[in-house]
Structure 1
């Protein structure tokens, strides 16, 4: 594709090796749903920790 776009073959081959394949991108990059899941998990852990601390402070 790079050669068809007008790039020299000598420059296009190293660039093509640096481009992520779809499989590599799927395995290494985070999607919006991944970030949303992490944010919700973190929120749940924070709320749970606050609940535990409140229960401890009320008990003592």
Structure 2
């Protein structure tokens, strides 16, 4: 797994999500993300990310 420091958490403009399943105590959650779009808006470079989180059971 690789990690890149792209920006600080204070640079987040918008964040949204939905719950698709119940998370139980002691579940191990793995998170991943990828850049799906790079745009320039009002002279500012922005990216759109696709984020996923799954349990040890793949749910």
Query: Which interval holds the TM-score relative to the shorter structure?
Result: under 0.3
User: Which one has the bigger helix percentage?
Assistant: 1
Question: Greater RCO between the two (CA within 8 Å, min separation 6)?
Answer: 2
* TM-score normalised by L of structure 1: 0.17
User: Which one has the bigger strand percentage?
Assistant: 2
Higher alpha-carbon Rg: 1
